[in-house]
Amino acid sequence: MNDDRHLTEEERQAFADDAPPVERRVELEAHLAACADCFDDVARLRSVTMRFRKAPNDPAPVEELWPSIRARIEQEKIVALGSAPVATRQWLRARHLVALGALAAGAMLTVVLLRPSHRIVIDSTVAVSDTTALRLVADSVKSYEDESRILLNRLELQRAMMRPEAAASIDRDLKVIDQAIDELQLAIQNDPRNPALRHLLASSYRQKVELLKRASNAS
């Protein structure tokens, strides 16, 4: 407090921050309780912060700015595939992940098929109650199949614009994933109610879609 026994500017502001000096808090609060001037001024300072915090957002140019943001993002992708080493590393990493994913799917398929009782892995109660789940997985597979077909068509159109080595590496990755899909489909023919196989199939299709999307965006 100053000579006139009112709170100093520093003390008022500290109260407005809800951080008065601990050692003098009781004394200062007693003053605030008795002094309308200081109390009102602290409330006034607090209200400044609160008004800004509670103010609604101004209309933002959301629609207007998105096309240029998207264009910059797309532009970066084109540059990245052509020259930027960091982006190339990211692309390669993504490709490795896809290939590893396909290999993992293959390995899991082997495990599922080699289990002595894989046809009865899931007890009959669960298998019956999983009918809906199986249908959902089948729907996912169908959806991924459709999407990958569209993306493959788009990729063919874009192939002419791609560097030959990029196109070749995409084809290699696609081949790995397609092999895994073929094996899984064969396995599902033999064991149509095995949810693990269906999940693996959906997962493989998802990888294919993601690979195709990356390839499409990059080209």
Q: DSSP letters along 89-155, please?
A: HHHHHHHHHHHHHHHHHHHHHHHHHHSTTGGGSS-HHHHHHTHHHHHHHHHHHHHHHHHHHHHHHHH
Give min distance, CB of 35 to other proteins, in A.
Answer: 18
Closer to other proteins by CB, 90 or 129: give it. 90
**Residue 157 CA: distances (Å) to CA of 127, 152, 164:** 43, 9, 14
Give min distance, CB of 208 to other proteins, in A.
Answer: 13
| Binding region for other proteins (CB under 8 A) | 9-10, 13, 16-17, 44-45, 47-49, 51-53, 55, 57-58, 60-62, 65-66, 68-70, 72-74, 76, 90, 94, 210, 213-214, 217
Give min distance, CB of 216 to other proteins, in A.
Answer: 9
Give min distance, CB of 2 to other proteins, in A.
Answer: 16
Give min distance, CB of 63 to other proteins, in A.
Answer: 8
Give min distance, CB of 104 to other proteins, in A.
Answer: 17
Q: What is the rounded distance in angstroms from the CA atom of residue 213 to the CA atom of residue 219?
A: 10
Closer to other proteins by CB, 65 or 120: give it. 65
Q: What is the rounded distance in angstroms from the CA atom of residue 131 to the CA atom of residue 211?
A: 30
Closer to other proteins by CB, 79 or 161: give it. 79
| 53 in Cβ contact with 23 (< 8 Å) | no
Closer to other proteins by CB, 109 or 166: give it. 166
Closer to other proteins by CB, 9 or 37: give it. 9
Q: What residues contact residue 162 under an 8 Å CB cut-off, 6+ apart?
A: 170, 215, 219
Q: What is the rounded distance in angstroms from the CA atom of residue 68 to the CA atom of residue 84?
A: 21
Closer to other proteins by CB, 46 or 193: give it. 46
Helix or strand (DSSP H, E) at 47 = helix 36-54
Q: Which two tokens stand for residue 117?
A: 């009782």
